[in-house]
Structure 1
Amino acid sequence: MVLGLLGMCLLAMPFGLIALTQIRHRGQRGRGMAMTGLAASGCYILLASFGAAIAMLIDTDESTDEKPSNRAQSVQDVTVGDCVEDVRETDLMFSIPVVPCDQPHAAEVITQFDLTGPWPGRDESARRADAGCTDELTAALIGSPMMEVLVSFVFFPAAESHWQRSKRVSCLVMRADGDDLTQRIPR
């Protein structure tokens, strides 16, 4: 009974069954205590199973969609394959709405890389990011049928405080005419 009440099911179940067998064969007392221990162990097993089922359902619900629709995400946290609803020329952009790529969107993150070394200043950081994205995007999209209608857009560390957190550069493409994209960029 004690092991059953403490939740030690792996020990309580076999010991409870052994106790019931011995009580029956030897005519000893304690049948009620053995049954209580087995019942308590059964309750713990049911509760653990129920908790595990709930945890799996919650985890499944969170991972069913690639990206939730219209979720604002830090510019530093976008990843290759993310589609963003809106991009605009501004000195500082902290978050961006990420949408599924089959919905209308302004741009898609095609590639990323990290800048190296100490903080070079805003202008040099922008120059390195633009040059790196030009090379990376050309390599990634060389065979794309859309290559001629796309222009690049770059997220880069524009301030020393951003550089301290992450030196990541995200290279995006968007339509040169400003129209929305409605699917992933073909490669």
Structure 2
Amino acid sequence: MEPSQPPQDSQPPRQGWPAPEQSNPMATPPAPLAGSPYTAPGPYGPGPYSPYGPQGPGAAEVPFGTNGMAVASLVTGIVCCLPPLGLIFGLIALPQIRKKNQTGKGFALAGIILSSISSVLVTVALLTGGFGEMWHGFKSGMDEAARSKSALSLRTGECFEVDGKLESYTTDVEIVNCAKPHDGEVAGSFLVTGFDTWPGEDPIDKLAEERCAEISSAYSMDNWAIPEHVWDYYYMPSRQSWRTGDRAVTCTLAVDEGEPLKGSLRADETTLDPDQLHYLRNLNPVENAVFEEPDEDADADLAANKAWAARVHTSIVDASRGLRSHRWSGTAVKPVADLGKELDAAAKQWDKLARSADADAYWETYEVAFEALPEDIGTDARAALGLAGPAGNSRSA
């Protein structure tokens, strides 16, 4: 509520003290009494109430701030990172303080004393070897801090250890050399898009499951080199991190239980030679198609199983053609040619399986088709190409 205005004819408020008499501003002020220690009052007089402070002879000068070098001397003296600097800053600050009428003399003196003590201690440490131990401890601490990262900042190809079991929202991991035992390796990452607000865990989880399978397959193309107890694992945003702008899903190949990993699982365009890359690009689709067998058998869903057999047949035919289209080098020529013949024979059986008239005919051909396409097919070609051999630990991409 705004205050109301007083009536125009209202009387002015009464003063607590009598109003001073009006004086003639042009009148000459009275001269001070002889021997009086006080000067005459006046707006510009040298009296103690002058708006500009004491100006008479012998009045104290106002200091012009605190000297910055003095403050720097004290700080470097306390921190003790570079002891001589505090001593130097303090010696520079003292004459500046006197010349510029500044404060900070106490800071400068304290910095000089602390820096002198630190310099003596460092000199003794250098002579006795103690400095080396101190530096080693400092460096070890910095290295450990550099290795400890948030899972959100992991980069492709980094190997890491997790404190405890793998959890969906683990944020602290330790980066380690891939040659040392570790729990997981980063295959890549992607950003969640298409949601203006937090969508919940289920949509992100479903998206991560699909995308990370693709990313891991591209990162480690040699399926036979991946142990059975290694699985696709991912870190996804939480409700809290989503509010801060986190949209990244980090895809990894990780061990939940069993022997830790040792060595990198990376097998992509950056690590494979042209022959290895061409072989895996053509044979991996066959393995993937075989592992996509329907959950329900032919008795329950014949159509789905016949469609699956047709997809396997197509992948086998494409693989055989792909192998023949490439110019192989060295000792890989013959084993790859032999593999092509095996694939052609298997393709016939899988085509027959896909054309089964009924469930009985399907089961009659089922075993024959799998025998024509054994899990270790291509072992000799892999050995010639320098790829992983069968060790009972292969898994689908």
For 1:98 and 1:143, the matched residues in 2 are separated by 24
Distance in 2, matches of 1:163 and 1:138, equals 31
Which residue, 132, 156, 166 being the options, matches 1:80?
Answer: 156
**Does 1:145 pair with 2:219?**
no
- Identical positions, percent: 22
Higher strand share: 1
**Aligned structure 1 segments of 4 or more residues deviating by more than 4 angstroms:** none
In 1, Cα distance between the equivalents of 2:256 and 2:165? 13
Query: Of 121, 124, 137, which residue of structure 1 is paired with 2:200?
Result: 121
Aligned equivalent of 1:107, options 180, 184, 187: 184
1:48-83 deviations in whole A, cap 9, x for unaligned?
A: xxxxxxxxxxxxxxxxxxxx4682101111110111
1:181 has 2:181 as partner: no
How large is the RMSD of aligned CA atoms in angstroms?
Answer: 2.5
The equivalent residue for 2:252 is 172
Q: Distance in 2 between matches of 1:132 and 1:166?
A: 17
Q: CA deviation at 1:175?
A: 4.3
**Residue 145 to residue 69, structure 1, CA distance change in 2 (3 Å):** farther
Question: Cα gap change, 1:109/1:91 in structure 2, threshold over 3 Å: closer, same or farther?
Answer: closer
| Structure 1 counterpart of 2:201, one-letter code | R
Cα shift at 1:162: 2.9
Distance across 2 between alignment mates of 1:100 and 1:148: 19
Counterparts of 1:104 and 1:148, CA distance in 2: 14
Structure 2 CA distance for aligned equivalents of residues 108 and 163 of structure 1: 27
Compute the displacement of 1:166 (Å). Answer: 2.0
Count of residues in Structure 1 that have an aligned counterpart in Structure 2: 121
Structure 1 residues 96 and 111: alpha-carbon distance in aligned structure 2, compared to 1, 3 A threshold = same
Q: Distance in 1 between matches of 2:183 and 2:243?
A: 26
CA distance in structure 2 between the partners assigned to 1:103 and 1:145 by the alignment = 21
Answer whether contact 1:126 1:156 (CA < 8 A) is retained: yes
CA contact (8 A) 1:82 1:98 kept: yes
Offset of residue 147 of structure 1: 3.3
Instruction: Give how far 1:183 is off.
Output: 0.9
**Structure 2 counterpart of 1:159, from 239, 251, 260:** 239
Contact 1:125 1:158 in 2 (8 A): no
Amino acid at match of 1:78: L
Cα offset for 1:145?
A: 3.1
TM-score using structure 2 length? 0.28
Is 2:183–2:256's contact at 8 Å kept on the other side of the alignment?
A: no
Gap regions ≥5 residues in structure 2:
1-142, 268-397
Structure 2 Cα separation of the partners of residues 145 and 125 of structure 1: 29
**SS class of match (1:181):** coil
Q: What is the CA distance between 1:121 and its match in structure 2?
A: 1.0
Structure 1 segments unaligned to the other structure (5+ residues): 1-67
Greater RCO structure (CA 8 Å; 6+ sep): 1
Q: Is the 8 A contact 2:234 2:252 kept in 1?
A: yes
Q: Distance in 2 between matches of 1:173 and 1:69?
A: 23
- Residue 104 of structure 1: SS of its match in structure 2? coil
What is the distance in 1 between the residues matched to 2:151 and 2:255?
20
